[in-house]
């Protein structure tokens, strides 16, 4: 009977140790996975924030580009140029006898094609 009793105690102790060991492993695993989840979630949130900032910056740049393109189109409008020349710079169109046409041969200049 003592052997049977000792075996039972040993078996109970071993089961308790196994239970504690498994509980510790599970607890550690839960802690590690929770930490990994929190870390990865924070990285995701940070990346999303950076992406939103980049998109906002790109939209501002795109808006500025559109604004500058519009201003450029206004500046290169020949009617605007003519109006500015006449009204602000007090220029006028040349008379017919003041216009001189020059025919320049192609060999006398360098041509740069785009």
What are the DSSP calls for 21-45, one per residue? HHHHHHHHHHHHHHHHHHHHHHHHH
- Dihedral sign for Cα 98, 99, 103, 104, please: positive
At 84 the pLDDT is: 87
Q: What is the pLDDT of residues 37-76, one digit of tens each?
A: 999 999 999 999 999 999 999 999 999 999 999 888 877 8
Alpha-carbon distances, residue 21 vs 28, 42, 86 (angstroms): 10, 31, 94
Least confident of 13-27, 46-60, 73-87: 73-87
* Sequence ranges of the domains in the chain: 2-89
Share of the chain above pLDDT 70, in %: 92
At 45 the pLDDT is: 97
pLDDT of 114 above 60: no
DSSP3 helix / strand / coil % (the chain, rounded to 5):
80, 0, 20
pLDDT of 30 above 70: yes
Q: In terms of Cα–Cα distance, which of 80, 101, 102, 98 is closest to 89?
A: 80
């Amino acid at each position: 009977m003592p052997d049977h009793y000792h075996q039972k105690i040993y078996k109970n102790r071993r089961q308790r140790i196994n239970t504690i060991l498994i509980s510790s492993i599970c607890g550690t695993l839960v802690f590690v996975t929770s930490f990994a989840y929190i870390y990865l979630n924070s990285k995701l949130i940070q990346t999303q924030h950076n992406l939103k900032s980049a998109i906002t910056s790109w939209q501002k740049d795109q808006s500025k580009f559109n604004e500058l393109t519009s201003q450029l189109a206004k500046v290169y409008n020949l009617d605007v140029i003519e109006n500015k020349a006449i009204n602000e710079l007090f220029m006028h169109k040349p008379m017919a006898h003041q216009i001189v046409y020059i025919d320049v041969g192609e060999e006398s200049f360098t041509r740069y094609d785009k």
